[in-house]
Amino acid sequence: MKRKIIAIDLEKCNGCGQCIPNCPEGALQVIDGKARLISDLFCDGLGACIKTCPLDAIAVEEREAEAYDEQRVMDNIVRQGENVIRAHLAHLEEHGEHVYLKQALDYLREKKIAIPRRLTENEAAASFHGCPGSRAIDRRNETDAPSLERTTGEPEAVIPSQLRSWPVQLQLVNPHAAYFADADLLVTADCVPFAQASFHDHFLRGRVPIIFCPKLDRVADLYLAKLTAIFKNHAPHSVTVARMEVPCCGGTTELVRQALAQAGVNIPVNEQIVSVHGEILR
């Protein structure tokens, strides 16, 4: 399929790295002194990185880029050398894309290309050059988190966190993250966890959360595109929307409904409204 995707002019690029924090999907890294698109898989083609490049070295082009085709991605990756191959494998692992990681390793074996040494945990963390807040973490197979401790070292009686995926803020979320597959989604306005005392137990338990503010976040088009991609590509089991009772918070539900319509999927939306006093009204 033809789609929009970024292109980097390596003649102009000086490797300053100013574009890296503005790629929420983590598709860019500085390798061998140049900014590189290490994976078509995670580039959404929206060009958030373009405005930060001081040398006008990044542009959006329209080219053939089949959706999530690891074979095509690897054809491009191997031409750029061992360092880029290594970064790409680490990139897939960091985002929990284990299916695509296996496909990439199978590709290297089939082409008789040496597989770079696997990264240790510390090396993998050091190799992640995107915004740390956008690094995907999938902990859904874990049981309750260990109890927190007071600064004095004495155990504190707390309810364990039910958060099993990261990031949660929609602007940082990678819409292709593996933890969205067949998930029960929670789309919540960002005031709800502060107002509702039992948020973790009542709303978050067993769900993958996405959080944003429909009034103050000024990136509605980006949010609509990301939600649409999640609904279209991952077919979630259910969608729960948690919002505040104030009228402007209704935009949370409206954005979800628009994304479902654009994705062409029919998933019932369970809307729950919370009062400013923390009561669940509906």
Which band of pLDDT confidence, cut at 50, 70 and 90, is reported for residue 175? confident
Full set of structural domains in the chain with CATH: 2-134 (3.30.70.20), 161-274 (3.40.50)
pLDDT digit string (tens) for 186-232?
999 999 999 999 999 999 999 999 999 999 988 888 899 889 989 98
pLDDT tens digit sequence for 88-132: 787 667 656 677 788 889 999 999 998 886 544 444 444 444 555
Q: 136 or 171, which is more confident?
A: 171
Task: Report which of residues 242 and 167 the model is more confident about.
Answer: 242
pLDDT over 90 percentage in the chain: 38
Which is more confident, 71 or 148? 71
What local confidence, expressed as pLDDT, does residue 222 receive?
Answer: 83
Over 80: is that where the pLDDT of 150 sits? no
pLDDT at position 148 over 50? no
**Whether the predicted pLDDT of 241 surpasses 90:** yes
- pLDDT number for residue 253: 96
Output the pLDDT for position 29.
Answer: 87
Of residues 77 and 200, more confidence is placed in 200
Binned at pLDDT 50, 70 and 90, residue 133 comes out as low
Which range of 29-33, 81-85, 135-139, 274-278 scores highest in mean pLDDT? It is 274-278
Task: Report pLDDT for 131.
Answer: 54
* pTM: predicted TM-score of the whole model, two decimal places: 0.56
Mean pLDDT over the full length of the chain: 82
How high is the pLDDT of residue 157? 58
DSSP-derived secondary structure for the chain = -EEEEEEE-TTT-----TTGGG-TT--EEEETTEEEE--GGG--S--TTGGG-TT--EEEEEEE--TT-HHHHHHHHHTT-HHHHHHHHHHHHHTT-HHHHHHHHHHHHHTTPPPPPPPPHHHHHHH--S-GGG--EE-TT--SPPPPB-TTS-B---PPP---EE--BTTT--TT-GGGTT-EEEEEETTHHHH-TTHIIIIITT-EEEEE-TTT---HHHHHHHHHHHHHHH--SEEEEEEESSGGGHHHHHHHHHHHHHHT----EEEEEE-TTS-B--
